[in-house]
Amino acid sequence: MELSVATERSQRNAERAVRIAPAPPAPASIADTGLPEPFVVDLVLKHLLLEGVCSGFQLARRMCLPFSVLEPLLEWLKQEKQVEVTGGELLGPISYRFTLTDLGRDRARQAMATCQYVGPAPVTLDQYFHQMKRQSVRGLPCTREAILEATDGLILDDDLIDGLGPAVVSGHSVLLFGPPGSGKSAVSQALGRYLNYHGGMIWIPHALYEAGSVITLFDPLVHRRFEDLFPELSIEEAITQQGTDPDQRWVCASRPVVVAGGELTLEMLDLSFNATGNFYYPPIQLKANGGLLVIDDFGRQVISPEALLNRWILPLEERFDYLTLANGKKIKIPFEQLVIFSTNLDPNDLADEAFLRRIRYKLPFSAPDQTRYERIFSGVAERLGLTVEEGIVEHLFSTYYVGGKKPRGSDPRDLLEIVANICRFRGIEPVVTSALIDEAARRFFASELRPANAGGGQ
């Protein structure tokens, strides 16, 4: 039995997404982790403080480090009488059950007072920079067919498709501008699908370490785990061909898609300090590394366009950014993402040419003409299971899109969904008649416009 087109497409997408970027290799020693030994010792003690008793295997799993890396530290802690073994010696040191002594408990509390982060061991910023260059959005395979597949279901001009391809290949910033409802958000979502389907899986660290500070990074709401996306597959089998034992401090996840709208503030672009726990939460651009960052409704944020572009002049050009720690120290982070600015304002009203020059690609969106509108209308009607009487689109254009009022690419969806809801509510056949489209238009457009033949009244 042949597979449906949708099923075949789903399988192709899964095969592409299962492609995994080269994994960072597992450390063989404390030196390989890049972390200061006292930091790792304190992290061991904090885990034992919270767990009470923990086997070597459990401790290694919680810290995402090989037990062979932790074993010398645990042996040293035993000699310093900060840790003791309470049993579990059958399988050797990895099965030992470790617990804190009074001396170890005191040191663990001091470590907890300094920083309350307790989780997988972080990776260093140097290691993060190296890995992000290996899995950059630049250089991903991108063809016209790939863009058409990602935008399947959208009716776009050929010029726009031809402009999107080079912009995606570049991995640089893109400005999408045009009237409301012209498809900018839909195209942004489609580019997110492109990155997921064609970009494969990448590696995201649980946390970062720099200058004695910890920055949490992995966010399950943004970074979707391999195990969650492909529960039927084994990550170990998927990376066997790489010949690398992966560093467990990193999570294999989909390329992130982060969207920020009118709520965006300047503070969201820097580290957020947890004063109680003494660690940091990442800004949106750090979460979006390796994927897509969409600034929606550009120009309508609390932060001005000039302030935002001023903040990102260096990152947009050089692909790295600077963040500020609570003590005033600045740290350098990668800025490896495709950035999309989407606006319905005139670009020349947003910022001067010096600023706009930093946004490499500028792609205009226009109101659909009647031919393209009809294609969109037919596609939406088919998706909703509606039959459309002859002449409905012509009726809309001659009755409602008059007096300089331009149609929006989103209007067919909005109008037809109202018609479908009316039909379901009244229990009538799902047929789009002129009477129903007029009723939908009255409810949708409201006071925004009136039919050309609508007369005044007392």
**Strand (E) or helix (H) holding 13:** helix 5-18
- Cite the DSSP H helix spans in 96-183: 102-114, 125-134, 144-150, 158-170
Q: Quote the pLDDT of residue 90.
A: 67
Q: Please, what are the domains in the chain? A: 36-119 (1.10.10.10), 126-364 (3.40.50.300), 370-448 (1.10.8)
pLDDT by residue (tens digit) across 242-301? 777 899 999 999 999 999 988 888 899 999 999 999 999 999 999 999 999 999 988 888
CB 86 within 8 A of CB 113: no
- Cite the DSSP H helix spans in 280-356: 284-287, 305-311, 313-318, 347-350, 353-356
Q: Quote the pLDDT of residue 16.
A: 53
Q: Quote the pLDDT of residue 3.
A: 39
Q: Quote the pLDDT of residue 75.
A: 95
Q: Quote the pLDDT of residue 446.
A: 67
**CA dist., res. 218 & res. 220, Å (int):** 7
119-134 b/e (C-beta count within 10 Å ≥ 16 → b): bbbbbbbebbeebbee
pLDDT by residue (tens digit) across 302-355? 888 888 888 888 898 889 999 999 999 999 999 999 999 999 888 888 877 777
Question: Apex CA 20: angle with CA 18 and CA 21, to 5°?
Answer: 160
**Strands of 329-456, DSSP E:** 330-334, 338-343, 361-364, 387-388, 431-432
Q: How far is CA 10 from CA 3, 17, 129, 193, 223, in A?
A: 11, 10, 33, 12, 20
Low-confidence ranges of the chain (pLDDT < 70): 1-17, 89-90, 241, 446-458
Q: Quote the pLDDT of residue 14.
A: 52
Q: Quote the pLDDT of residue 150.
A: 81
**CA dist., res. 269 & res. 139, Å (int):** 26
- The type of residue at 97 is R
Residue 351, phi then psi, degrees to nearest 5: -165, 165
What the block records as the tokens of 318 is 């050089």
CB 449 within 8 A of CB 400: yes
Q: Quote the pLDDT of residue 6.
A: 45
Mode of pairing for the β-strands spanning 279-281 and 330-334: unpaired
Closest alpha carbon to 170 in 341, 334, 357, 338 = 338
Q: What is the pTM of this model?
A: 0.85
